[in-house]
Structure formats: C-alpha cells, structure tokens
Copies of this chain bind each other. A is one copy, B any other.
Amino acid sequence: MSVSKEFARYVTGLAYGNMPAEVASFAKICILDWLGSALAGADKPPIQMMAQVVHELGGEKQATLLTGGRSSVTQAALVNGAASHIVELDDIHKASIIHAGTVVIPAALAIAEWKQKSGRELIEAVVAGYEVCYRIGEAVSPSHYYFWHNTATCGTFGAAVAASKLLGLCEEKIVHALGSAGTQAAGLWEFIEDGAMSKQLHPGKAAMNGILAALLADRGFTGASRILEGDRGFVRAMSQEADPERMTEGLGTTYKIMENSFKIHASCRHTHHAIDLVVEMVSRYGIAWRDVEKIRVQTYQVALTITDNPEPASVYAAKFSLQYCVALALVKGSAGLSDFTEEALHDPDIRELMRRVEVSVDPDIHARYPGKWEAAVELVLADGTTMQQHAEYPKGDPENPVTHKEIVRKFRAMAADQPQDKIDHFLDVIGRLEQVPDVTMLFAQMKGR
C-alpha cells in the first residue's frame, strides 16, 4: 500500500469518539495557543500587506480573516497562517522542526467555519493534520531542513489532510489531495539571509495550497498516488534520507500532537530554561531583584553562541540576549510578549541587573545537548544566601508540560489588543470546543463579518 493510501485510511478512520480525552484537550490548547499568535500578529505590516492583496482579489465571504472581514477559504487560510507565524510564539515539534499550528489550524478553521462544522470535527481535523505532517517531517529530517522550511513543505500535507477530513473526502480522494499537496510543496530558507517576509508567506501559502489540493480532489481532480515515496516524489527530490516507511510506522496507534512544544516566553527558545528557573524562584521565594547580587547561568554552548549578548540594542535583539532575558524575568516575574517593550529595553533597573548576570558553559549540560536543552541558575543574595535550580527541558516541552493556566495567561497577553469580552468569548468557546455544534460561533464577535 502506498504511503498516501495508508495516510488516507488513517485520516478517514480517525474519530473523536475513539480519541483519548487528553488528546482532545491538548488539541484545544493547540488551537487556543495558535489563535493567540494569530491575533498578536494580525496587525503587523507584512500581514497587513497580505490582507490588502487578499481584499483586492476578493472572494466569497467563507471564512474570517483575523485582520478583519472575511474572504474565500484559501485566502483566509493564507492571511491567518501568515499572521500566526510572525511573533514567533507559535508551537513547535522538535523532531520534525514543524510549526504545525501555523499551517494546519488556519486551514482547518477556514473549512470548519465555511462548512459550519462542529468543534469535535475541528479537533479531529487538527489531530489528523498534525499527525501526518509531523510524520513526514521526521522522515525527511535532518537533510530536508537545510534548504527547505519544513513548516511550509511538510505543512502543506497537514493542511490538505485537515481540509480533506472536514470536507469528508473518501480514501481515494485524500490520496489525490496528498498528491496535489506534495506537488505544490515549497518554501526555501534563502529568505533568512535578508530576514525577508517569506517566513510569514510560507505557512500561509502552505495552508492555502493544502486547501486548494483538497477542494480540487473533492471535484475529482487527480494527483500522484505515490507523491511521498515515488521515484520522482517529495522524499527523493527534497531530502537525502530515503526511509519513507518510517512515515507510517505505528500510524493509528500514536497521537503525535502530544509531542508538541509551546513557547511561553516571547524570546529565543535557548533562553527559556533560564527564564523558567528565575520566574519560579522569584515566585516561590518572593525574591526582590534588588536583593540579588549575582545571577550565574550555566548552559550548553549553542545557547551562548546564539544568546550571549550583554548589550542588546533593539527589542528584537533583547529576545536573543540571555543576560537581558534573565534580568527581565527577575524584575518583572515574566518574559511574555507584553514584557518585551521599548520601555523595558531601556529600563535602568534591568540594565543595572544585567551587569550582575554571568553566563558560562557547563560541560555536563553541554554533553547532553541537543537531547536535552538544560540550564542551571544560581542566585546569590545580598545576605549571602545562595539558591540553585536546574532544568532539563524548557517549560512547554512535552517533558516539562505547560499548565492550562499558563497557556490561558499567555493567550490573554497575546490577545491584549482585543476587547476583554472578545478575549473571554474566545476562551469560553475553545474551552468547551467539543460541545460546540458549529465553530462559526468562535468568530461571532469579529468585526466586519
């Protein structure tokens, strides 16, 4: 049986009723976390440019744009996918290096809204989409990632799966949808040299392409039956690995969405472990930053290569400064999206405290990277007290899971520009998503619908 056929059989067979309760709960957290990222990104210039293009092109009012108004499902997925990948707080799967939320969820949500699907159907589609794209991403890792943005390329299959599931496509049509998805898969890393906006184009476009693949398949449009493992297919053309069988190993017995990592702090992932420890110590022991004479952070070399910066000159650079992030967390007790401001960048207290931060490599910690992303933090107080804590994984990794409360707090920060009643509405609807008969109610309060 072809890989596409196995995936198609898995997708048609997946049912909310057979899903463990924690998987459905976890999917709801993914959707909430995604929505927060998309709301926080919607007003950023690249997303506004894209929304302007979409409004100019026009389309049936099928699905909500988080930038305002509605458009066709393909164009709504384009804008919403792009919006969710700009503040860099979206979820990530370490093994496949895919930000699945940014592709699978906008595609699923657009179709679910258009076809007035239930919350349970949305959850099924998201779980299926994550599963398929994570499996494809793992099979082409690590070589694929050198040239290709896995989120975009592998994500296209995930979006096609999510859309196909919600459209109720049969096995045969899902195979065709995967064929049309794979032959549209694109997204080169070259943009990173310029910091160009392709970073946002990629997930949005992958979501759009996945929907197009599913809509075409629904009409009978055919695609390659062996797009993944075929001689001139995705895996052989775009990676050095050649183990396509790995893609379907244990398929149907796993819920890979549960391997997802969330980002709580609005900074580089390599600063998160240290921030976690500082936030915990501040909270547990009621430490005032003025009493701290020395902060020693030990971690692995890669973390320092990327984040050892005692003089960050911009808010963006501050997110990649371990010294800044640790000092910020000590002063504010958090390091969320609303903590990284121009004001905080120049805050003399934080700048003063940064001088007391010492960063270094610990050989044992370094030896365990990248299996573990560890840090140890030691605080030396003015009264001579010394406190030490150590973390093996940053908060939000499956091994150090985030609490529901923390995700809600993060969501409120991400959605801070929205009216309070709208934030509450989103939290309410997603909180009881499995009971929602029609997901259009999620957007009932969006302007311009």
Interface residues of A (CB under 8 A from B): 45-46, 49-50, 52-53, 56-60, 62, 72-75, 146-148, 176, 179-180, 182-194, 196-198, 201-202, 205, 212, 215-216, 219-227, 230-234, 236-237
Contacts and interface: CB of A to CB of B under 8 A. Distances in A.
A226 to B, nearest CB: 7
B197 A184 contact: no
28 contacts: A46-B221, A49-B216, A49-B219, A49-B221, A50-B216, A53-B212, A57-B73, A57-B75, A57-B215, A59-B59, A146-B232, A147-B237, A183-B190, A183-B201, A183-B202, A184-B186, A184-B187, A184-B205, A188-B233, A190-B231, A190-B234, A193-B224, A193-B226, A193-B230, A194-B225, A197-B221, A198-B223, A201-B223
B191 A179 contact: yes
Contacts of A201: 180, 183-184, 216, 221, 223
A78 to B, nearest CB: 9
Nearest to A212: B53
A190 B58 contact: no
B193 A225 contact: yes
A183 B192 CA distance: 12
Given A53-B216, A58-B62, A183-B190, 4 more contacts: A50-B221, A58-B58, A179-B191, A197-B222
Contacts of A231: 190, 193
Contacts of A193: 224-226, 230-232
A222 to B, nearest CB: 4
Contact of A147 (B58, B146, B220, B236): B236
A188 B224 contact: yes
Contacts of A182: 188, 190
B222 A196 contact: yes
A352 to B, nearest CB: 37
B59 A219 contact: no
A188 B226 CA distance: 11
A192 B196 CA distance: 35
B194 A232 contact: no
A192 B215 CA distance: 21
Contacts of A198: 179-180, 183, 222-224
A438 to B, nearest CB: 20
A190 B53 CA distance: 33
Contacts of A196: 176, 179, 222-225
A195 to B, nearest CB: 8
A224 B56 CA distance: 24
Nearest to A195: B222
- Pairs of residues from A and B, 4 with the lowest C-beta to C-beta distance, nearest first: A58-B60, A147-B237, A49-B219, A57-B72
